[in-house]
Structure formats: C-alpha cells, structure tokens
Amino acid sequence: MSQISVLSLQQNEISDIAKKITVGIEGDFSGSGVIIGKYPNQHQEANVQETYLVMTAWHIVEQSGKYSIRTFDGKLHSVNSQNIQRLDKIDVAIIEFTSQEDYSIAKVGNSSKLEVGTTIFYAGYPNEGPHNTRGSYYCIPATVISLIEDKNSVNGYNISYDGLPLDGMSGGAVLDKNGELIAIHGAYAIRAVVGRAENYGVSSETFKNWSQKTVLAQQENIFPVKTRHLESREFLDVASNLKLVWPTSGILTTSRRWGRREENWTSARSNRGVNIPGPIGTPIVAAADGIVVESSYFNYYGNVIEIQHVNGISTFYAHNNRLVVSKGQSVKQGQQIAERGNTGRSSGPHLYFEIRTSDFTPPRLHAKFQLDEDQGI
C-alpha cells in the first residue's frame, strides 16, 4: 500500500482522495475521522488483521461507551475504547480499528503555508438531515478566514474557514489543493452579525509535532531514537543500541505515575517501562535474541516473560494473556513469546514493556510491597 501523493488536483479528485481516507464514527455521538497511520505487519503474512490509526475530534469520543468506525466501503469496524487517546489538551484524539482490507492513509501536508483566502476542502459524514442520510459523504470547498497564532487557543483550534455548518462532520479531514491533510475539522459557530458560519480546525502543524513524539510504527520496525514522547531518554538509547524490534503493535506511552513504582522499591533508578495498549490476543514477540529467564504469573504483573540478552540487558513483558515460551528456552528476535492481555494489576488490555540493565536491579518477582488503588500500570 502506498500513501497518496498528488499535485494541483481538481475538486472531484480531492473529493475522491478524501473519501478513501475519511471514516464515519458511530456511538453516543456521531462524527467523522481520518485514517492517518497503520501498524506494520512484522511477519509479512497475508490475510491478517491490520491495525489502523484514526484521528478525530476528542469531543466525539470523550464519553465512555461503545464506538464503531464505518469506512468508505460501508464496512463497520469495532473500536476498543480502552485505546482511545487524547492529544494533549486539544480537540483531537486517536482511535484504532482492525481490518484485513488495505485502506489508504492520509498524507499529512504543511499547514504553515496556508494564507487567508486559500481554498481548502473539508470532508465527512454529516448527521441525517432533510436532504441526506447519515451515510452520505460530503466534501465541501471552503475559504480560510483566519489563522490563529495563539498557542493557548480554545481546544487548540488555530484555523477558521467558511462553509456549510453540518453536525457529524467534526473529526473529518481538511485537505489542501494537493489533497494533503492540513487540519482536523473541529466545530462551527454561527456568526449572525456577519451572516455566515465559521468552522474551526486543528492544523497539521499541531498534530505533526505530536506524531513525532508518539511512536506510530508505520515507518520502521525498530525504536526510533528521535522520539521525545518518552520521559526517559536512556530507554530509547538502550533500545536503539540493541536494535530492538517492536514487541507488539501499538502506540508507546509512558507508564502512569512515571518512576513512582520503582522509586518505592529502590532509589537506584526510575521506571524503565512503557505501556503499549491494544487488543487482547495480539502477538508479543521477542525484542532481540536471548534466553527466557522468567515465564510465570505474578500478582501485579500478571503473566510475565523476561528475556536475558547480551551485555547484561534483559527485557520484561507483563500483563500477557497467554505465554508461549518456557523458562530456559532460547528465542530469536521477532519470535512470538506471548499474547497481549489484561492480567494482573491492569487498567486495560496492554503490554507493559521494560528494558532492564545491569545497573538497575528491581526487586525479585516474589517481593512484597504495598500499592495505592490507582497505582496499577
């Protein structure tokens, strides 16, 4: 699958591009979204479920509940609400769905080149109205009204444009004349004084910065050193030096209350781990060659695997649903060792992944300690 790359397109061509990357979101609130990423199939297997990342408006999915995604081909895909993530404090969120289909991914453009008066296009699936059903796709031309430079603007909205004010379009793609994603459509307001509607969006420069901090895993299969999302730079240095592969698909996030748990155990080092949320049963693979030194159940971590690598480095995998290797077994990089799960002290399906070095020795798995109710990883 290749990303869309076009120049100087006609409106109907832009509409065709937007339709393939735009989705409808169904749930307590209806909205739209845009496919912005896809996790790689590490084993290059055919006919397997791929995980797609969809960017949408946070206010569409902020309420807990069941959501589903409808792609342009009419297929409905379930959303794991545990994986919904808000970007900072702005009106943008990331949700995921899985499918065997090969869907197009938006090419992110440069919103900093926009000027007042520039023609843009916003796409989505508006709510049912007098002249359309919920499943009707719209791609609407608009003109940029203003560019907001205030970094503290409400909900991160930093671009406004005219156009029809339609409920259900929030979260959809805003494209430039090249068919590239330059904003996420957010909200609208009716300006009675000037007699027009004004739409608001979050520009691509805002979420491009976020995506550089967050591991989208659609580019490489090794830990990129440049990411700044993790609070421990040393974690990434070690991962890069070892050329570790992804243990599973998902967005890397720091463990809640970074460092607090290990500081309760020992003052030597803070937490070396990250959470990688995702569906239960997703394969977990060895990040590098090594020997399995632990394959067991522990109350707080659930089903765990620890693999000893070279130079005193080991990797630790927790909250697994099922373990498929045994203690003492040799494993190769990329070999499946477990399935992602929700065992032990866990707030939702995810892998807790940790790199352990010779200068950091956490307590043995059978150590006893006290935890507050909200300190689970």
3-state secondary structure 101-121: CCCCCCCECCHHHCCCCCEEE
What is the topology classification, in CATH, of domain 111-208?
Thrombin, subunit H (2.40.10)
Q: State the pLDDT at residue 209.
A: 54
Q: State the pLDDT at residue 64.
A: 79
Q: State the pLDDT at residue 232.
A: 42
Cβ neighbors of 224 (< 8 A, separation 6 or more) are 215, 236, 240
Rg (CA), the chain: 22
List the Cα angle 227/232/233 in 5-degree steps: 55
Q: State the pLDDT at residue 339.
A: 94
CATH 2.70.70.10, the chain: domain bounds: 214-375
Residue 350's CB: how many other CB atoms inside 10 A?
27
Beta strands 67-70 and 50-56, pairing class: unpaired
Among candidate residues 324, 288, 332, the one with its CA nearest the CA of residue 305: 324
Run of H or E residues at 240: helix 233-242
Residue appearing with tokens 């992804």: 246
Q: Identify whether the C-beta of residue 372 lies closer than 8 Å to the C-beta of residue 272.
A: no
Superfamily for domain range 11-106: Trypsin-like serine proteases (2.40.10.10)
pTM of the complete model:
0.61
CATH 2.40.10.10, the chain: domain bounds: 11-106, 111-208
Q: Identify whether the C-beta of residue 248 lies closer than 8 Å to the C-beta of residue 278.
A: yes
> Does domain 214-375 correspond to CATH entry 2.70.70.10?
yes
Low-confidence ranges of the chain (pLDDT < 70): 1-8, 39-48, 130-134, 151-152, 190-195, 209-242, 250-272, 357-377
| DSSP secondary structure string for all residues of 2-35 | -----SS--HHHHHHHHHHHEEEEESSS-EEEEE
